């Protein structure tokens, strides 16, 4: 089979859980004798539309098509955020050239729902993994603009303020109107202005259509895969058909992972592994440690600390104020085992509904204790004394937990699925869909 993976970002430009997972599946499909191609988005800083194109490269022997694009230059950015026809135009000749038997969409953000519709129009079978919550939340985190947790939009205009905060859509005044007023003015304005609607009005209208468009887009896929029971429940709560979503827990790269060992030191080594963004909560951990200056704890923060933004700047400032905290930068997937082997515990003070994160699975696989937020799938991951659940965002509670924490290596959790097992599961799904399509074509 020719298997094409679609994802929002990929190596070497980005390193994250979805990228690692996609890489693992693609490498194994290729090893199994299938022809593999990967299509991804690359954020372009150029404002020149002639620079937006699909380019061919490869990573670790896998052909990669990179679609370079800048959303801010779209003709209608508020619509293109979830339905980008310009991306589809760039993708069409690539898909015609590759001619895949199966398309597995790992993450549709940035490529947008238009990429999936293109596959449907070309009669390409699609397997769709719900890697996070982007289809029901434009921020993909289910955290509102004011940092409150969200369970999905309460109505068609509920995402207006978040999209204004994220991309500037809707205009400063319009986006902050109460929803009843916003709905009234949108309706009246649409009738009066018709083809001469201001951009803010067009933005609001596009945002109001986002949920229905993406829900319909998702449910056209041949297979829809959720990575956790919690995630499936969240999508069902937001109007998705329960019988169309199959929960298939993703696999773990076990190569290089060794059973946790005790360290002969009176200093506790704790690691945080993740993106240095607000919803991952690294600041909670650093602030908690700062409240207990007497603790003999070394905190290593692994994540890309290059560049500058208000949140990253605040993390650097917090870390610089405590010599027990070290910003380690990012590491390659092949170094994962070494990072865990040097630690006494893993901490994940997430402020969002983490979706069965691979770093927690890896820690549990090697028998490393974990401290995690009592939230979403993280709450479901703690069992048999293999970790500590803590209130998300409660700095004092985390400080108390660090003060009383005496980590010891645990038994390995060998029930955790490996990437090899998961790859075989998905290849079986691909074969089923492919065989069914071939059978229809032969009739």
Mean of the pLDDT values across residues 224-253? 96
443 pLDDT higher than 80: no
All residues at 6 or more sequence positions from 94 whose CB lies less than 8 Å from its CB, including other chains: 39, 54, 65
Buried-state track 316-337, b at ≥16 Cβ within 10 A, e below 16: eebbeeeebbebeebeebeebb
- What is the dotted CATH code of the domain comprising 268-404? 3.40.50.2000
Cα–Cα distance for residue pair 172/199, rounded to 1 Å: 12
pLDDT tens per residue, range 330-347 = 988 889 999 999 999 999
Q: For residue 149, what is the DSSP state?
A: B
All residues at 6 or more sequence positions from 304 whose CB lies less than 8 Å from its CB, including other chains: 15, 275, 276, 329, 330
192 pLDDT higher than 90: no
114 pLDDT higher than 70: yes
pLDDT tens per residue, range 22-37 = 999 999 999 999 999 9
Cβ proximity of 330 and 373 under 8 Å: no
Residue 356: per-residue pLDDT: 85
Where on the phi/psi map is residue 53: left (φ > 0), alpha (ψ -120 to 50), or beta? Answer: beta
pLDDT tens per residue, range 307-323 = 889 999 999 999 999 99
Cβ proximity of 234 and 380 under 8 Å: no
Q: Is 36 exposed, middle or buried (0-12, 13-18, 19+ CB in 10 A)?
A: buried
Cβ proximity of 139 and 166 under 8 Å: yes
Cα–Cα distance for residue pair 381/383, rounded to 1 Å: 6
| Lowest mean pLDDT, pick from 31-35, 122-126, 200-204 | 200-204
109 pLDDT higher than 70: yes
Cα dihedral across residues 73, 74, 80, 85: positive or negative: negative
Mean of the pLDDT values across residues 203-211? 93
184 pLDDT higher than 80: no
- What is the dotted CATH code of the domain comprising 2-139+210-251+418-442? 3.40.50.2000
At 146, phi and psi to the nearest 5?
Answer: -95, 15
Cα–Cα distance for residue pair 409/417, rounded to 1 Å: 20
Alpha-carbon separation of residue 346 from 123, 154, 229, 298, 349 (angstroms): 45, 35, 23, 12, 10
Cα dihedral across residues 310, 314, 317, 319: positive or negative: negative
Cα–Cα distance for residue pair 27/61, rounded to 1 Å: 9
Report the half-sphere exposure of 398 (CA within 13 A, side-chain side). Answer: 27
Q: Kindly state the helix (H) or strand (E) to which residue 318 belongs, with its residue range.
A: helix 310-320
Residue 188: per-residue pLDDT: 64
Of residues 131 and 385, the one with the higher pLDDT is 131
Give the three-class secondary structure for 120.
Answer: helix
Going through 170-308 in order, the beta strands assigned E by DSSP cover 223-226, 245-247, 268-273, 297-302
Give the three-class secondary structure for 368.
Answer: coil
Residue 185: per-residue pLDDT: 67
Q: Kindly state the helix (H) or strand (E) to which residue 105 belongs, with its residue range.
A: strand 102-105
1 pLDDT higher than 80: yes
Average pLDDT, the chain: 92
Residue 300: per-residue pLDDT: 97
Band of pLDDT at residue 171, cut at 50, 70 and 90: confident
Cα–Cα distance for residue pair 253/358, rounded to 1 Å: 9
Both tokens of residue 130?
A: 């719900």
pLDDT tens per residue, range 352-404 = 999 889 999 999 999 999 999 999 999 988 887 778 999 999 999 999 999 99
Residue spans per domain, the chain: 2-139+210-251+418-442, 160-208, 268-404
| Percentage of the chain exceeding pLDDT 70 | 96
All residues at 6 or more sequence positions from 229 whose CB lies less than 8 Å from its CB, including other chains: 247, 380
Most confident of the following: 163-172, 219-228, 306-315, 380-389: 219-228
Torsion on CA atoms 294, 299, 304, 305, rounded to nearest 10: 20
Give the three-class secondary structure for 78.
Answer: helix
Band of pLDDT at residue 195, cut at 50, 70 and 90: low
pLDDT tens per residue, range 259-298 = 999 888 889 999 999 999 999 999 999 999 999 999 999 9
Both tokens of residue 101?
A: 């038997």
Of residues 436 and 94, the one with the higher pLDDT is 94
| Percentage of the chain exceeding pLDDT 90 | 79
Both tokens of residue 226?
A: 């959720």
Where on the phi/psi map is residue 4: left (φ > 0), alpha (ψ -120 to 50), or beta? Answer: beta
């Amino acid at each position: 089979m020719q298997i094409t993976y679609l994802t929002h970002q990929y190596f070497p430009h980005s390193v994250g859980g979805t990228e690692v997972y996609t890489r693992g599946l693609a490498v194994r499909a290729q090893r199994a004798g299938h022809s593999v191609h990967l299509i991804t988005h690359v954020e372009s800083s150029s404002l020149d539309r002639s620079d937006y194109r699909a380019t061919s490269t490869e990573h670790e022997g896998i052909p990669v098509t990179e679609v370079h694009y800048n959303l801010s230059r779209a003709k209608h950015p508020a619509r293109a955020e979830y339905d980008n026809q310009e991306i589809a135009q760039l993708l069409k000749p690539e898909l015609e050239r590759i001619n895949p038997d199966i398309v597995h969409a790992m993450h549709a953000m940035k490529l947008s729902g238009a990429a999936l519709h293109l596959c449907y129009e070309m009669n390409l079978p699609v397997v769709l993994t719900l890697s996070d919550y982007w289809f029901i939340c434009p921020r993909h985190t289910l955290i509102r603009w004011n940092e409150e947790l969200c369970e999905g939009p309460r109505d068609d205009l509920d995402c207006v303020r978040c999209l204004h905060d994220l991309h500037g859509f809707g205009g400063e005044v319009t986006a902050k109107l109460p929803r009843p007023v916003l709905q009234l003015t949108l309706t009246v304005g649409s009738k009066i202005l018709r083809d001469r609607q201001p951009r803010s009005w067009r933005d609001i209208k596009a945002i109001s259509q986002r949920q229905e468009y993406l829900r319909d887009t998702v449910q056209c896929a041949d297979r829809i895969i959720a990575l956790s029971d919690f995630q499936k429940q969240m999508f069902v709560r937001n109007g998705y058909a329960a019988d169309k979503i199959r929960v298939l827990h993703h696999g773990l790269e076990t190569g290089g992972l060794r059973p946790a060992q005790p360290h002969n030191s009176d200093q506790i080594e704790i690691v945080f592994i993740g993106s240095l963004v607000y919803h991952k909560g690294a600041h909670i951990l650093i602030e908690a440690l700062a409240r207990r200056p007497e603790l003999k704890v070394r905190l290593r923060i692994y994540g890309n600390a290059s560049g500058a933004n208000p949140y990253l700047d605040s993390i650097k400032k917090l870390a610089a104020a405590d010599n027990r905290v070290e910003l380690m930068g990012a590491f390659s997937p092949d170094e994962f085992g070494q990072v865990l082997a040097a630690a006494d515990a893993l901490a994940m003070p997430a402020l969002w509904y983490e979706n069965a994160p691979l770093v927690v699975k890896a820690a549990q696989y090697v028998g490393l204790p974990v401290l995690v937020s009592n939230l979403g799938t993280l709450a479901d991951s703690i069992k048999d004394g293999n970790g500590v659940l803590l209130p998300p965002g409660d700095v004092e509670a985390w400080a108390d937990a660090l003060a009383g924490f005496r980590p010891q290596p645990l038994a390995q959790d060998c029930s955790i699925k490996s990437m090899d097992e998961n790859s075989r599961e998905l290849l079986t799904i691909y074969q089923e869909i492919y065989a069914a399509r071939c059978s229809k074509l032969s009739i």
